[in-house]
Chain A
């Protein structure tokens, strides 16, 4: 059974700081890895998707990396802002019995202090 682990479970940083969120997965046979943002009581917003053949993806202040051999992905957030406060989820995509499925981590709750 595939498992995705995110560390830390919660993180609090002062505004302006650069930070790294970690995600590890047990099965390296992933198709892609996706990072999502979830605001309290809301749905998921996709931030970045890294295909298994890629090493990293960038969008604005966000950079996500993927190392399949070690089973790790990181999400780097530069110059953090209070508006970045949310829960960040990573999800690894695997082939299921009838479809491709996402296995999610529990998330890292980020608080950026003004």
Chain B
């Protein structure tokens, strides 16, 4: 595997389900990001992790819970989501959270019924 990978690529869940999104980067980077892309809205930054420590939480509801066990892996745990949470969730990584180019994964298309 190369670059940034995300699994699953597609996910359909009910509002009472609990699921997790996974991101893995194979670039030796130290910063990882979660973004949300909703229809007709710009990409929104959700969380930033630098060297496994969370450095940004852009007022994201608590039903989204990130986890970064090491610099290569990032998870987004989902529970009791709403239909308006349906979106493309993108993961990115960079050398660190300074002024470095971000590399994006293919995204997970989430549908909440």
Q: Pick from B11-19, B41-49, B60-68, B76-84 the stretch touching chain A.
A: B41-49
Closest to A103 in B: B42
Q: Which residues of B contact A105 (CB under 8 A)?
A: 42
Q: Which residues of B contact A31 (CB under 8 A)?
A: 99
Cβ-defined partner of A89 (8 Å) among B43, B48, B105: B43
- Pairs A–B under 8 Å by Cβ, sample size 8: A36-B104, A41-B109, A42-B107, A93-B99, A99-B31, A100-B98, A106-B41, A107-B42
A106, B41: Cα distance in complex, Å: 6
A42, B90: Cα distance in complex, Å: 9
- Other contacts beyond A98-B50, A106-B40: 20, CB < 8 A: A31-B99, A32-B99, A42-B106, A43-B90, A43-B106, A44-B104, A46-B104, A49-B101, A89-B43, A97-B56, A98-B48, A99-B48, A99-B97, A101-B45, A101-B48, A101-B56, A104-B42, A105-B42, A106-B41, A107-B42
Q: From residue A31, how far is it (CB to closest CB) to chain B in Å?
A: 5
Does A34 count as interface, using CB distance less than 8 angstroms? yes
Interface residues in chain A, defined as those with a beta carbon under 8 Å from any beta carbon in chain B: 4, 31-32, 34, 36, 41-46, 49, 89, 91, 93, 96-107
Closest to B96 in A: A99
Assess whether A43 is in contact with B97, with CB atoms less than 8 Å apart.
no
Does B88 count as interface, using CB distance less than 8 angstroms? yes
Assess whether A102 is in contact with B45, with CB atoms less than 8 Å apart.
yes
Q: From residue B42, how far is it (CB to closest CB) to chain A in Å?
A: 4
Assess whether A99 is in contact with B106, with CB atoms less than 8 Å apart.
no
Assess whether B105 is in contact with A43, with CB atoms less than 8 Å apart.
yes
Q: Which residues of A contact B99 (CB under 8 A)?
A: 31-32, 93, 100
A112, B73: Cα distance in complex, Å: 38
Does B70 count as interface, using CB distance less than 8 angstroms? no
